[in-house]
Structure 1
Amino acid sequence: MLLFVAYQLWYTNIVAERAADGAAGTLQQTWQRDAGTDPGGAAAPPVTAFEPGQGFAILHIPKLDVKVPVAEGISKPKVLDRGMVGHYAEGALKTAMPADEQGNFAVAGHRNTHGEPFRYINRLVPGDPVVVETRDAYYTYEMTSALAQTPPTNVAVIKPVPEGSGFTGPGRYITLTTCTPEFTSTYRMIVWGRMTDERPRGEGPPPALTS
């Protein structure tokens, strides 16, 4: 029993963090290759669809020292248990992408074990930045509100205008979801943010990542 607990609390984090770091490095190398070394070269065409489990972005939460790949879908074996954050992208749970003109980019991540990228999102306060880095751009969001506990069945929290967020109309939003209390999956904790800046990748990282 003690060995199993050690595996869950320690070893799964090591394995998942290695996998996530490798995925983040691969993404950045691919983006660099797509951009090319010739400033006058033609840009690679935009990519708007991804396969389940495919990484397509990197999520930065500077206050928490979080840098984690984002993959399509919220499958535990393909995404979450590999230390990545998953984009709600299927069926009735399908949410927007950061580049969309309107909508809610909603993602899920483990709070404990398997890299636990969202362990401390309860420490975020209004005004804290969250940055989504993609092949083409950086999208900066400002944390606006949170919901400490809600049932897993409450999917209204990831609607285009998420219920309970305080947002009253269409916009460009982000939603972070994770399990709570710690070491359980009884409820969900929700953090919301509003996009405040979008800049092409060629202009370099936003102040939230450099200051």
Structure 2
Amino acid sequence: MLLFVAYQLWYTNVLAQRTADGAAGSLRQTWERLPQGDAAPPPAAFEPGQGFAILHIPKLDVKVPVAEGTSKAKVLDRGMVGHYADGALKTAMPSDKQGNFAVAGHRNTHGEPFRFINRLVPGDPIVVETRDAYYTYEMASVLPQTPPTNVSVLEPVPKGSGFTAPGRYITLTTCTPEFTSTYRLIVWGRMVEERPRGQGAPPALAAR
């Protein structure tokens, strides 16, 4: 029993972090191989489990790949965060001119990228790095607890966020309380800058 607990609480983090770091490195290498100023359009759709971005939360020292879909086996248990992209839960991409880019991540075990998102406060930066651009959001509001069935938090203008009109938003979702999956903790942000990759990292990342 003690070995199983150690595996769950420690070794799954080691394995997931190794996988996530490798995925982030592969993404960066792929982007760097593109010709300078390459204007080829991104894929119309990504395959389930395919990494396509890197999420940065500077305050929490989080840098984690974002993959398509929220499959535990293909995405979440591999230490990545997953983009809600399936059926009625499909949400926007950062490059969309309106919408809500929503992602899920583990709060405990398997890399636990969202363990401390409850520590974010309004104004804290959240940056999504893609092949073509950096998208900077500012944390705006939090819903400390809601049932997993409350999918209205993923809507283009998410319910409970305080947003009242269409815009460019981000939603982070994870389980709460810690070490359970009874409820969901939701953090929302509003996009404040879109910066082409060729201009370098935004101020939120430049000093890191």
TM range (shorter): over 0.9
Identity %: 83
Q: Following TM superposition, by how much is the alpha carbon of 1:210 offset from its aligned partner in structure 2, in angstroms? A: 1.2
Deviations 1:151-178 (A, max 9, x none): 0000000100000000001000000000
Matched, 1:198 2:194: yes
- Distance in 1 between the 2:150 and 2:188 partners? 15
**Which residue of structure 2 aligns with residue 186 of structure 1?**
182
Q: Following TM superposition, by how much is the alpha carbon of 1:110 offset from its aligned partner in structure 2, in angstroms? A: 0.1
**TM-score of the pair, normalised by structure 2:** 0.98
Which residue identity is paired with 1:21?
D
Matches within 5 A, 1:29-178: 29-34=29-34, 36=35, 39=36, 42-178=38-174
3-state SS of the aligned residue for 1:105? strand
Deviations 1:19-75 (A, max 9, x none): 0000000000001112x2xx4x64333223100000000000000000000000000
Which residue identity is paired with 2:42?
P
Q: Following TM superposition, by how much is the alpha carbon of 1:135 offset from its aligned partner in structure 2, in angstroms? A: 0.1
**TM-score of the pair, normalised by structure 1:** 0.96
RMSD: 0.9
CA 1:86–1:131 in 2, change beyond 3 Å: closer, same or farther?
same
Give the total of aligned pairs. 207
Which residue identity is paired with 1:204?
G
3-state SS of the aligned residue for 2:172? strand
- Distance in 2 between the 1:48 and 1:144 partners? 30
Matched, 1:20 2:16: no
- Distance in 1 between the 2:32 and 2:99 partners? 28
Structure 1, unpaired ranges of 5+: none
Which residue identity is paired with 1:12?
T
Matched, 1:8 2:12: no
3-state SS of the aligned residue for 2:101? strand
- Distance in 1 between the 2:15 and 2:152 partners? 33
- Distance in 2 between the 1:57 and 1:210 partners? 18
3-state SS of the aligned residue for 1:199? strand
Structure 2, unpaired ranges of 5+: none
